[in-house]
Structure formats: C-alpha cells, structure tokens
Amino acid sequence: MIITLLVFVGSLLLLVGFHEVGHFAAAKAFGVYVIEFAIGFGPRLATVRGKETQYSIRAIPFGGYVRMAGEDRRETDETIAPERLLYSKPPGVRALISLAGPAANLLLALVVSIVVVWSVEFPIVQVADTIAGTPAAEVFRPGDRIFEVDGRRIYLQDQISESIQRSGGGEMAIAIEREGAHETVRLHAIYEDEEERYVVGAYFHSVAYTNEIVLPSLDSYLTTLGLRDGDRITAVDDREVGTGVGILVALESATAETSLVVLRDGESLEMEVLHPGKLLEEISISPPFANLGVDARRTGFVDGLVLGSGQFAEYTRMMGDFARQIVTGRVAPTDALQGPVGVARILGQGFRLGPAVFFQVLAFLSLNFGLLNLIPFPGLDGSRIGFVLYEKIRGRPIPVEREGLIHAVGFVILIGLMLLVTYKDLAGLFR
C-alpha cells in the first residue's frame, strides 16, 4: 500500500509537473511574466524565489498551475510592463501557451514509449503451427524464427499481420532461422472471404509449444485425466495434432464426448475427456507443453523510433475508440473515468510487473492527461483555446466576468466529478 501510494504521488507529480513546464516554457518564450509556478494546490510546502517567478510545492498534489500576469484581466500591477501581460499578447500566442501543457504530456508519452522500446528485448516471433493445405504449410515448420518480411525487421506479431495485408497477395520474402541456419522462404498470401483479409495459414507466437506434456502441478486437470510428464498428445478425437497450438484449436471445436490419443513410451493410449471446456481453459491459461526455446533481441535506433511511435499512435487510437464509445452511449462516463484510487491501483500493478510495464502505463496516462485537457470544458486548457477561437471569430474577447464565472463553475463540476469517481473507486474496494 505504501509503495503504491509513493508510486502514485511520484507519477502524478511527474505528469502534472511536465504539463505545467509546457505552459511555463511557452509563456517565457513569448515574454509573458510568470508570477508563480506551482505543483499542487493548497498550503505551500516548499518555496523557492527565482528572478521574477516563485516556484512552489503545495500540499494537495492533484494538479498544478502557472500563474501569469494579466491572466485575470481585472488585476492590475503597474510594476509589470504592459507588453508582458498575458492578455496583451495576440490570440494565437495565448492559444499556443494553453496548448503547450497538453502538448508536453503528449511529448512525454511519445518519448517514454520510444525509450521503453529501446530498453527491452523482444522475443523473436516464431511459427507456432501451420494449417494443412495453406501456403504456410508448404514452407514453414513449427519453431521457425521470423526475422524479416520483405526486408522489414520483425519484432511483433502485429508486424507480420500488417506485412501480409500490405502484400495484397503478392509474393513475400521472409527471412527465417531454422535449426540455427538462416534462409529466406517465399510464399503468397491468400484472401479469406469470411475474415475479409489476407492470410498465410500460420500461427505466430513468441513461444512455439510442442505436444509434449510438462505437468505444471499434481492437482491439474491433466493429472486427473491420467497424463504424465513426457506424454505426447497426438490426436484430439480423430484430428491429428503435433503442437500445443494444434491441441488448443482442436479442443475449441471438440464436443462433449472428446478423447485424446496419447503416445507414452512408444505405446498409444486413448483417454476420455468428460470436460473438454475445463481442459481447454487450463491449457489456455498455463500451457502445460514443452517448448522449442525462446530467443530475444533489441531493436536498433531507427527501429526503436518506428516501433515506439507506432505504440504511441496505437495508444491514441485506443483513446479515440474509447471516446467514441462514451459519446455513443456504449460506455457510461462514470465507468470510463478513473479516480485517484483507480489510477493509483493501475500504477501500483504496473510497478509490480516491472519497469517496462510501469513506464508503458505511465506513457498511456500521460497521453490521457494531455488529451483530456484538450477537451473544451471550463477549467481545462481546451476551454481557454475555445475562448481564443471565440475572440477570433467575434473580434472581441468574452466579457471578463463571464469568463471567470464559466471557469469557476467548470472547476466546481470537475471537483465534484473527481469526488464522485473517487467514491466509486473506494466503494469498489469493499465489494
């Protein structure tokens, strides 16, 4: 609990700090006088006085702000030159200053995504099995390592799928490693009408499992069936299988009356399976099969940039899909939002799973933070950009009293929403 709390507070300070640094740097770049740079709200815990700006850490870490001279048009300070007031700047400059905070969070998400890709080793994708009668069955063997497709280095299964679709059924040159030797195989993808995409008829995975049993524990369902270490499942019903994937696929279409053919010490045995669904679930969760080994490699500099940028783009796409589900009513806003407790739990889980997972979570949260602040809702940066657009269209700014009231009401609503989702998170802990 303490570690989760420390991770949450540290992550929040980083995300908020980076956001405010964006506003601060943009304000300074355009010559705006910055009165205070603060992380958090409420009473000051620490303060450092700069040449003209006061830097402070405040007690409540759920946010921060950059207080700029002239931000409130009702305030006057004759000691500050008029040209350094925020509202003396052109509307476009004010919009850029408001945009700089969310942009900083998006930049942080992109950089972290790329650094994570550079820092981890990716398991080399293998051929886990092939489907009889397909192009892949003619050229691949289980355990083949995939290194390149048409000159493009492969680190993820999705890259293979993308290359297959990109081929449009044309010939592909695939660089593989088989039993320690490197070679290039060539094949054509075929169009599958039911799936509406091109396929080659192979299952790709980071681990290629054989059909040899390695029992995970004595109380598993496989033990109940009578299976032992070293047994090989050679058939499910009348369907011959030679890999772990083949066994899974066969069990998915198995009926209530299912049997296994098992090879033990050169002798074939038949075992009846009363609960094929239970067997499928156990095998899916923890495959009890020997494997053909796992190798890994790091990306180069350029490949890391491409993969990291692709991961960032995928996070953005996920956010867009989620937003559409909220707008269309498929997901309730209260179910979509996470309060401090929920965010802390997610960060804590990521931290326990290791640095790579934690920083991926941090990148996703930074992207969330940046995009949410672009929503044109009072109290968020998006509303300030909206006010600038209003001023550009109407030729005059919104009345200062009305703008202040809108921000105040929006801030109250945001606090209320935060309290609501926090209550929801806490209630979920005690269910």
pTM greater than 0.75: yes
DSSP assignment letter at 243: B
Which regions of 103-144 does DSSP assign to beta strands (E)?
Answer: 122-123, 126-130
Residue 140 confidence (pLDDT): 96
Q: Residue 127 — very low, low, confident or very high, per pLDDT cuts 50/70/90?
A: very high
Q: Mean per-residue pLDDT for 358-376?
A: 90
Long-range CB pairs of 380-385, under 8 A, 24+ apart, other chains included: 380/410, 380/414, 381/98, 381/99, 381/101, 381/102, 383/407, 383/410, 384/94, 384/95, 384/98, 385/95, 385/98, 385/99
Q: Mean per-residue pLDDT for 173-180?
A: 95
- For the stretch 40-89, pLDDT in tens is 888 888 899 888 899 998 888 777 889 999 887 777 777 888 889 998 89
DSSP-derived 3-state class of residue 62 = strand
Angle between the N-to-C axes of helices 340-352 and 2-29, in degrees from 0 to 180, rounded to the nearest 10: 110
Which regions of 209-341 does DSSP assign to beta strands (E)?
Answer: 209-213, 232-236, 239-240, 258-264, 267-273, 289-291, 296-297
Enumerate the CATH 2.30.42.10 domain ranges in the chain, comma separated: 123-206, 209-291
Q: Mean per-residue pLDDT for 326-338?
A: 66
CA angle 218, 222, 225 (to 5 degrees): 110
**What residues contact residue 287 under an 8 Å CB cut-off, 6+ apart?**
207, 209, 244
* CA atoms within a 13 Å half-sphere pointing along the CA-CB vector of 356: 8
Residue 189 confidence (pLDDT): 95
Residue 41 confidence (pLDDT): 81
CATH code of domain 209-291: 2.30.42.10
Q: Mean per-residue pLDDT for 206-213?
A: 94
For the cut 60, the answer to whether the pLDDT of residue 343 exceeds it is: yes
Give 206 or 428, the one with higher predicted confidence. Answer: 206
What distance in Å separates the CA atoms of residue 139 and residue 385, rounded to the nearest whole number? 57
> Domain spanning 123-206: which superfamily?
PDZ domain (2.30.42.10)
